[in-house]
Amino acid sequence: MLPELGHFSLALALFLALVQSILPLIGANRGDVRLMRSAEVTAYAQVVFVGFAFAALLNAFITSDFTVLNVTNNSNSLKPMIFKIAATWGSHEGSLLLWVFILTIFGAGVAIFGSNLPTSLRARTLSVQAWISVGFLSFMLLTSNPFDRIFPPPLDGDDLNPLLQDIGLAMHPPLLYFGYVGFSIVFSFAAAALIEGRVDAAWARWVRPWTLAAWVSLTAGIALGSWWAYYELGWGGWWFWDPVENVSFMPWLLGTALLHSAIVTEKRDAFKSWTILLAILTFSLSLLGTFIVRSGLLTSVHAFAVDPERGMYILGLLALSIGGSLTLYAWRAPAMVGGGLFKPVSREAGLLINNLILAAATGTVLFGTLYPLFLEAITGDKISVGPQFFNAAFIPMMLPLIFLMGLGPFLSWKRADLAGIVQRLKFVAGLTLIASLVIWYLYERGPVLAFVMLLLAVWLMFTTLHEWAMRIRLFESDLKTAWRRARNLPRAAYGMTTAHLGVALLMLGMIGSTVWKDEVIKFAEPGTTLEIGDFDVTFEGTDRVRGPNYFSERGILRVEMDGEYVTTLYPERRTYPVAQSTTTESAIRSTPAGDLYASISAPSLESAEAAGAWTLRILYEPLVILIWIGSFMLCFGGLLSLSDRRLRVGAPKKSKTLGSQAQAAE
């Protein structure tokens, strides 16, 4: 009964969304407050109905109701509870329901927190949001009903893909969707502003917290996915430039650009049409991600079951939403004239270059991801674009951005004093060079590009710290004053400092884990000792272990350093009998200095199997932990910024009164 009620409430939500997509717009045009305010009621009601549907599906998974097809296909009664819950969004239908649920949560969020928005802007934003709801709810009801029944019900379910039975991946989709869908609000804001034909500082101020919230979630989602790939796939890599990774990365890059361009629109009333365009494109890329993952358009390890009919439907949605908004943009944007003139050396110019680089980088990733499709369409040739392309094209492009990132915060608005900054940063530059040379001497290997990356990472770290020290006058006054200033610094400033430091750490982690890593792949019999980094790893043999819904063969690796026992690693090869597949469970010894990473795979030669020999893959990846710490700092910095009083109070004050305060904040 509950699944049917869930299905029915989805239909009701669709009806509400239809109402919400029309009435408030009419109201905004006629100036009818009652019609405009109807959007709030329908937004709340939508979240209730979709939430109910989601709870119904969740319940079906928790109680292992195998009369529901979706549960049968993706769950199993033996599976641990946490993964039964996670399986709710493990399938195409379930994840779509989660997607829409988050969409309606954000819609309700605008209704709740938007009390200080002008009524017409709020009504239009909610209306645009409802269009997206209509698109996805109808998609779900017409092509992907999560509540389909099966008769006769089977005794037990087919189990979820074992690769996905993991805590990192259980949390990955919700966070990623919060990010993707969060940008829908920004998109709705942009479309509403285009309909109204007005973009001002106040608009940018309302958009910023939503962008930040979405960006933080997306960052966390991507980092979690990357972490999962690192320890679950058994390759020791954390980024593969897989199409599905790329489609989550592109909105992130563009979202980062949006985050920064919105600052300029807010503070200086410039970059208006650019900010609007970024808002549209960021969400468009999120939609594109949804499309690519669900249509089977590109080859990827992540893709859901391929269904051309679904692909067509999403393509139609894409055409309407992206095509529609860009048409609106082409029609309205030329009328938007930005204020705020600035000199070539100024914070505006710095942020402009930041935006150009980020946009170009996004374009590069987009091109590389879709190039196989383009080539196949034109010449019929099938190729795949590998990491080589992305590493060669993307990394050098980002390096100037990192340099600028260190410099940017020192630039003042309108016109900056370049000579003064050079004078001020001479010391930092020297320190950077010395520190980098010392680090390089200690590790002493890698290509020139890696050294340039190292130099820039250290540069970013030092300049960011220096900028913070300068703000609190750490070296120019006594400690008491510095402490007082440090406490009075707005949280947004700390947010920036934390996030930028996070990028520096992230880069160090990337360099360490790719350039300085040590890797051994060996076909080894028990008793073999391998040398890796400073460790001696002895393969002592394998044993068998049983889990709740799997059994595994476990390698026993004794790790020693200079003859001293360090630890024992147990990499596993798990076999899931119900899902009929195997997974690699790598064993990792993580320290701040580096990760010792081991995975095993079964031999295919029968003679070798008899001798108990396995293929061992052991890596030592220095500093890889900095990637996770850096990602965490990015998120934490975003949250700090989000909690800034300015945004929390969020009142649309007249831009004159906030001038001085805002100047300090940035």
Partner 1 sequence: MRRLIAFAPLIIAVVFGGFFFWGLNPDRDPNEIPSVLISQPAPEFSLEKVEGLDTPGFSRADFGDLDRPVIVNVFASWCVPCRAEHTVLTKFVEQDGARLFGINYKDKPKDAVKWLEELGNPYERIGSDIDGRAGIEWGISGVPETFIVREDGTVLYRYVGPVVGEEPEKRFRLALIEAGAIQVGE
Would you tell me which residues interact with partner 1 (CB under 8 A)? 273, 277, 280-281, 284, 291, 295-299, 308, 311-312, 315, 318-319, 322-323, 326-327, 329-331, 333-334, 370, 372-374, 376-377, 381-382, 386-388, 521-525, 528, 601, 603-605, 608, 615
Comparison of 341 and 605: residue with beta carbon closer to partner 1: 605
Q: What is the DSSP letter of 578?
A: T
Assigned token pair, 543 = 């044993």
Listed in sequence order, the DSSP H helices in 31-149 are 33-62, 69-74, 81-87, 92-113, 119-143
Query: Least distance to partner 1 from the beta carbon of 230, Å?
Result: 18
What H or E segment, with its residue span, contains residue 458? helix 448-471
Comparison of 372 and 630: residue with beta carbon closer to partner 1: 372
Comparison of 396 and 527: residue with beta carbon closer to partner 1: 527
Closest CA to 136 of 79, 188, 98, 182: 98
Query: Least distance to partner 1 from the beta carbon of 361, Å?
Result: 17
Comparison of 258 and 405: residue with beta carbon closer to partner 1: 258
Q: How many CB atoms within 10 Å of residue 448? A: 7
Q: How many CB atoms within 10 Å of residue 473? A: 14
Query: Least distance to partner 1 from the beta carbon of 254, Å?
Result: 12
Comparison of 62 and 366: residue with beta carbon closer to partner 1: 366
Query: Least distance to partner 1 from the beta carbon of 341, Å?
Result: 17
Contact present, 597 and 520 (Cβ < 8 Å): no
Provide CB contacts within 8 A for 385, sequence distance 6+.
241, 368, 369, 371, 372
Provide CB contacts within 8 A for 304, sequence distance 6+.
91, 92, 95, 293, 294
Query: Least distance to partner 1 from the beta carbon of 516, Å?
Result: 16
Comparison of 415 and 522: residue with beta carbon closer to partner 1: 522
What H or E segment, with its residue span, contains residue 524? strand 518-524
Query: Least distance to partner 1 from the beta carbon of 235, Å?
Result: 10
Comparison of 59 and 528: residue with beta carbon closer to partner 1: 528
Q: What is the DSSP letter of 214?
A: H
Query: Least distance to partner 1 from the beta carbon of 521, Å?
Result: 7
Comparison of 121 and 336: residue with beta carbon closer to partner 1: 336
Contact present, 71 and 92 (Cβ < 8 Å): no
Q: How many CB atoms within 10 Å of residue 447? A: 9
Q: Is 68 helix (H, G, I), strand (E, B) or coil?
A: strand
Closest CA to 616 of 660, 553, 549: 553
Q: How many CB atoms within 10 Å of residue 78? A: 16
What residues pair up with 552 in beta bridges, in sequence order? 545, 574
Comparison of 89 and 614: residue with beta carbon closer to partner 1: 614
Comparison of 520 and 629: residue with beta carbon closer to partner 1: 520
Query: Least distance to partner 1 from the beta carbon of 598, Å?
Result: 16
Assigned token pair, 517 = 């890593």
Query: Least distance to partner 1 from the beta carbon of 644, Å?
Result: 32
Contact present, 146 and 61 (Cβ < 8 Å): no
Comparison of 94 and 135: residue with beta carbon closer to partner 1: 135
As a whole number of Å, the CA-based R_g of the chain is: 27
CA–CA separation, 429 vs 449, rounded Å?
A: 18
CA–CA separation, 563 vs 541, rounded Å?
A: 20
Query: Least distance to partner 1 from the beta carbon of 649, Å?
Result: 35
CA–CA separation, 254 vs 272, rounded Å?
A: 16
Query: Least distance to partner 1 from the beta carbon of 268, Å?
Result: 20
